[in-house]
Structures are given as structure tokens and as C-alpha cells.
């Protein structure tokens, strides 16, 4: 008579109980060390290891309770009584013995104790070509192996030892049909990834930045929903694309830092500590801190409706930066540097009317009024329309540019590679940067310095600061008055006292 398998009498006893871990409701899972049990626990749930409790724990949510066949919590996690389960092991894919000591026992080792094994699906992204695969993971089983090998387009990854399919709906359905009678599919990780991918796609269409994708995949479902709600509310409130992009990035970085902590339960003190971390550890500038505070103020006071949430959080004092301007000689060299007539026209029109780079690239053909010698700026910063003067010299440059263009612009004055679409901001900034280097200008100036130079030169010619405010489209006169500090005509007429000390007396 054959001796019974040594595993026959081996029992795995699992206990579980409710805990509060870092302010979150969790379920502690206790059992003697067993690698197969740990593998199954991690594949079926969001199990994490706690150094404090020296044990594995799972989130107390409907998904995990359903998987573990636990009673659904009605009021508080403390209502969950301590339970115990007792299992025997399957040998050679055959169930030898199974004994459950509680009605609501935790079948956390279904893969070992039932005839249906668990197949876990995860999305694997190949860094080289960004290809997405459905990774198929399961304990080696001849029956499952035979079934999945019949699936069309299934392949084996020899480097990482897993089977995979293209990440498409029809391939998932083919897998599900192939194993429907022999295995249970755990698609929690797959569904979570696809949900986040769709959210990233939606947010990218709204905010227009690829950085969104990196942030989204690092957020839990609750915080991802908050980020989406924030962007949708900004759209409803008709915020500009630039503001939506900035606030989305700032809120996303904050949600990424707090990790699995839900933002909607954090306090003012938690946010204050985060801002201190940004200042003391990340060494962010005052302007960046103000931008981040504005974004978080929108999240908590507009989205979550927390009144006066930021009253106790101080704002750092901003550094008053004076505009950086170019001299007339430097401007002549700058305008002479580009050989491309389109590039020259972009620089000319920016300086001649004191335009922002976004206003230059969004100029439409219909916005040019030759007869009145005016440019119409539609919905510029602050959602304001305004007219500015079109210099006859610039008009001549624009007419030459249009006449000599091989591909004529159809909609925008300056169009990119795609006809009918505006030139990109980065391309316009690159034109300025290249011209600056070619002109031998060593000053730390940017495309926006053309606008600063325009305003400063008008002041030096005696134009009233109020008129300049209207031309530039400033809301606040204080913004325009910054240029008073860099007027050369005032500075050169004020003598230093040292000149009196060494002046030769007659």
C-alpha cells in the first residue's frame, strides 16, 4: 500500500481581523509563512506588508470582502468579528481534503483549494516601443496551459517567463472563453489599468500635456476621480487651457505625493506640511509655490466645497522681478539674424505691438485690418479682446512673407506643419533663441522680453503709462508700472553723488 503524501495532513490556518492602518480601514490577514498563500493573496487582492504589524493586510472594501466571502460592513469595520479558517492542500491538481471551520471563511487560497485555479491578468508595457500586452500569470497547470496555447496570437515571453496577448478586447474575450470552465480570471489589475488609461487620454485631450499619463497611473481610484472632477469643473467654469494645464499638473503632483491617502479626508494641517515640504525639501520658487497653492485652493474650496480651507496657510512673499529689455542696437541685430522670412515676421510683429507669444501664434488672417492698420487680438489672456496698431513696416514684412510662401496659410497667419493649425509656442521660442545666439546677445532674455522692450521703449518716448496699459492688455496698472523702474531716460539723468566728489571745480 502506497504511503500517503506528506502534504495530506498539512493544514493552513488563516485568521483575519479589522485594523486602522495609517488612517485607512484595512483587514489584517494572519497565517504561518507559506509562499503559495502569499502569492495567491497578492494576486487576488491589493495586499501589502505592514512592518508595524509584521503581517499582510488588505483594503476593507467591497471587492476584497466579496473575494474573501466576508460579510459586508454596514457601519464600521470594528463590527467585523475575528474569524478563522482551516484548509488542506491540493496535491497534483486534485482536491484531497477541504475543511472550513466558519461559514463566512476566507477562501484566500482558491488557487490551491479549489479545482478552478486563478489566472491573473496585468498590462505589461514594453519600454522600447510602448507596446501594451495582456500578461497572463498562473501557477503551472497542464490543463490551463493546453487551453491557452490554442488561443490565436498568444506568445511566450522567455525573458520574464509569462504568456501574453495583444492588449485588445477581442483577445481578452478569446482568453476568457478558452478558460471559462477550468479557471477563474482575476482582471482587477487589468481593469484598473484600462480605467486609468482612459482617464489619462481624456485629461490629455483637455489639458494637452503628455505628463498627465505619468501622473494618472500613480494615483488611487479616489484621487484619480478628484483630478478628473477638477479638470471638468475648470472646463465648466471656462478656464483657459493654460490655467487648466497648470492647475491639473499642480493637483496631480500633490495627489502623487500623498500616494494612497485620499485627498478628500486630509486636513489643513496636512496641506500645510506638504507646502512646507515643497519649500524646504524641493526648494521650489515663490512663484511656483503660489501657483501650487492656487491649484490646491481650487481643489479644496471649489471641488470639495471646503470653505476657508487655506486661511491658516501663509503664502511666501514673491520676488519682485524687473522686466529684462533689449536695447535698440540689440533689437536691430536680432531682427537681422533670421534668414527665413516667416521667422523674421514673427519677431517683428511681436515687438512692434508688444504681443505675447501665444497672441502671435493665434493671430488669424482675418485679424489683420490693412485699411485701418490694426491687429485684432481675439480672446487673449484674461479672455479679453483688444486692438493694437499694425506698423506699416511690419505690414510690408507680412505681405512679403505671404507672397513668397510656397504653402499659403489658410486660417492662422503663422501655421505649423499641419495646414490650418497654428504654429507651436515652442517653435516660436526656438526662433527667438536661435536669433539671439546668432546676433551675439549674451543677456538672459526670452521671447517675452520683446514685449517688455516694447513697453519700456514707449515709456522712454513719453507715452503715458495708462495708454501702455491698454495696449498691453493689463488688468492692473501696477503691472504696467514695473516698466517705470527700467526707463533709461530717467536713470541716465540722475547723477550719482560720487560724481560731485570728483568733479573738477573751476
Contact partners, residue 300, CB within 8 Å, separation at least 6: 271, 306, 309, 310
Average pLDDT over residues 355-361: 90
**Nearest to residue 472, comparing CAs of 485, 453, 488, 486?**
453
- Where do the structural domains in the chain lie, given as residue ranges? 11-112, 117-186, 193-303, 328-490
Residue 472 pLDDT > 70: no
Query: Cell 489639458, residue?
Result: 207
Judge whether 333 and 441 are in contact, CB under 8 Å: yes
Judge whether 351 and 432 are in contact, CB under 8 Å: no
61: pLDDT confidence band, cut at 50, 70 and 90? confident
Per residue in 295-319, pLDDT (tens digit) is 999 999 999 998 888 877 888 887 7
Q: Grid coordinates standing for 11?
A: 493544514
Does the domain formed by 328-490 have CATH 1.10.150.20?
A: no
Query: Cell 481578452, residue?
Result: 172
Residue 213 pLDDT > 70: no
- % of the chain exceeding 70 in pLDDT: 76
- Cβ burial, residue 267 (10 Å; 0-12/13-18/19+): exposed
**Nearest to residue 334, comparing CAs of 345, 346, 325, 347?**
347
Strand partners, 11: 88
Per residue in 371-404, pLDDT (tens digit) is 888 889 887 777 778 888 888 888 888 999 999 8
Mean pLDDT of the residues in the chain? 78
DSSP-derived pairing of the beta strands 55-59 and 117-126 = unpaired
Could you list the active site residues? 356, 381, 448, 451, 474, 483
Query: How large is the angle between the packed helices 425-438 and 328-336, nearest 10 degrees?
Result: 110
* CA distance linking residue 353 with residue 132, whole number of Å: 49
DSSP-derived pairing of the beta strands 117-126 and 183-186 = parallel
pTM of the shown model = 0.60
Residue 288 pLDDT > 60: yes
CA–CA–CA angle 30, 31, 37 (5° rounding): 115
DSSP-derived pairing of the beta strands 48-50 and 155-157 = unpaired
Does the domain formed by 193-303 have CATH 3.40.50.460?
A: no
Per residue in 215-243, pLDDT (tens digit) is 888 888 889 889 989 999 998 998 888 88
Amino acid at each position: 500500500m502506497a504511503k500517503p503524501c506528506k502534504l495530506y495532513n498539512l493544514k493552513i490556518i488563516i485568521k483575519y481581523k479589522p485594523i486602522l492602518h495609517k488612517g485607512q480601514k484595512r483587514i489584517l490577514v494572519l497565517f504561518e509563512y507559506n509562499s503559495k498563500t502569499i502569492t495567491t493573496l497578492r494576486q487576488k487582492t491589493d495586499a501589502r506588508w505592514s512592518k508595524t504589524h509584521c503581517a499582510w493586510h488588505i483594503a476593507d472594501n467591497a471587492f476584497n470582502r466579496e473575494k474573501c466571502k466576508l460579510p459586508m460592513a454596514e457601519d464600521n469595520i470594528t463590527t467585523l468579528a475575528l474569524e478563522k479558517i482551516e484548509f488542506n492542500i491540493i496535491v497534483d491538481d486534485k482536491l484531497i481534503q477541504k475543511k472550513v471551520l466558519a461559514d463566512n471563511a476566507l477562501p484566500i487560497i482558491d488557487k490551491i483549494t479549489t479545482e478552478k485555479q486563478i489566472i491573473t491578468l496585468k498590462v505589461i508595457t514594453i519600454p522600447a516601443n510602448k507596446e501594451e500586452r495582456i500578461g497572463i500569470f498562473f501557477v503551472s497547470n497542464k490543463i490551463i496551459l493546453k487551453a491557452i496555447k490554442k488561443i490565436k496570437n498568444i506568445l511566450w515571453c522567455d525573458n520574464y517567463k509569462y504568456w501574453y496577448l495583444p492588449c485588445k478586447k477581442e483577445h481578452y474575450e478569446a482568453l476568457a472563453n478558452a478558460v471559462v470552465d477550468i479557471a477563474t480570471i482575476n482582471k482587477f489589475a487589468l481593469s484598473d489599468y484600462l480605467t486609468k488609461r482612459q482617464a489619462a487620454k481624456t485629461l490629455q485631450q483637455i489639458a494637452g500635456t503628455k505628463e498627465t499619463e505619468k501622473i494618472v497611473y500613480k494615483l488611487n481610484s479616489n484621487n484619480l476621480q478628484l483630478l478628473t472632477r477638477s479638470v471638468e469643473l475648470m472646463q465648466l467654469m471656462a478656464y483657459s487651457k493654460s490655467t487648466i494645464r497648470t492647475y491639473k499638473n499642480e493637483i496631480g503632483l500633490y495627489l502623487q505625493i500623498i500616494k494612497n491617502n485620499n485627498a478628500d479626508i486630509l486636513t489643513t494641517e496636512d496641506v500645510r506640511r506638504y507646502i512646507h515640504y515643497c519649500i524646504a525639501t524641493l526648494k521650489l520658487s515663490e512663484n511656483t509655490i503660489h501657483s501650487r497653492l492656487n491649484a490646491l485652493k481650487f481643489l479644496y474650496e471649489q471641488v470639495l466645497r471646503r470653505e476657508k480651507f487655506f486661511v491658516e496657510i501663509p503664502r511666501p512673499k514673491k520676488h519682485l522681478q524687473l522686466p529684462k529689455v533689449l536695447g535698440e542696437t540689440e533689437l536691430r541685430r536680432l531682427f537681422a539674424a533670421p534668414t527665413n522670412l516667416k521667422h523674421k515676421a514673427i519677431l517683428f510683429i511681436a515687438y512692434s505691438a508688444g504681443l505675447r507669444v501665444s497672441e502671435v501664434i493665434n493671430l488669424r488672417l482675418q485679424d489683420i485690418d490693412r485699411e485701418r492698420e490694426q491687429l485684432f487680438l481675439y480672446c487673449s489672456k484674461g479672455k479679453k479682446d483688444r486692438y493694437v496698431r499694425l506698423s506699416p513696416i511690419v505690414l510690408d514684412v507680412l505681405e512679403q512673407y505671404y507672397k513668397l510662401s510656397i504653402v499659403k496659410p489658410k486660417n492662422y497667419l503663422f501655421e505649423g506643419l499641419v495646414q490650418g493649425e497654428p504654429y507651436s509656442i515652442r517653435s516660436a521660442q526656438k526662433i527667438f533663441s536661435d536669433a539671439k545666439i546668432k546676433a551675439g546677445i549674451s543677456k538672459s532674455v526670452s521671447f517675452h522680453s520683446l514685449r517688455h522692450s516694447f513697453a519700456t521703449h514707449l515709456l522712454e518716448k513719453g507715452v503715458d503709462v495708462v495708454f501702455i496699459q491698454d495696449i498691453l492688455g493689463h488688468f492692473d496698472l501696477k503691472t504696467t508700472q514695473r516698466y517705470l523702474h527700467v526707463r533709461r531716460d530717467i536713470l541716465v539723468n540722475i547723477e550719482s553723488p560720487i560724481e560731485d566728489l570728483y568733479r573738477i571745480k573751476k
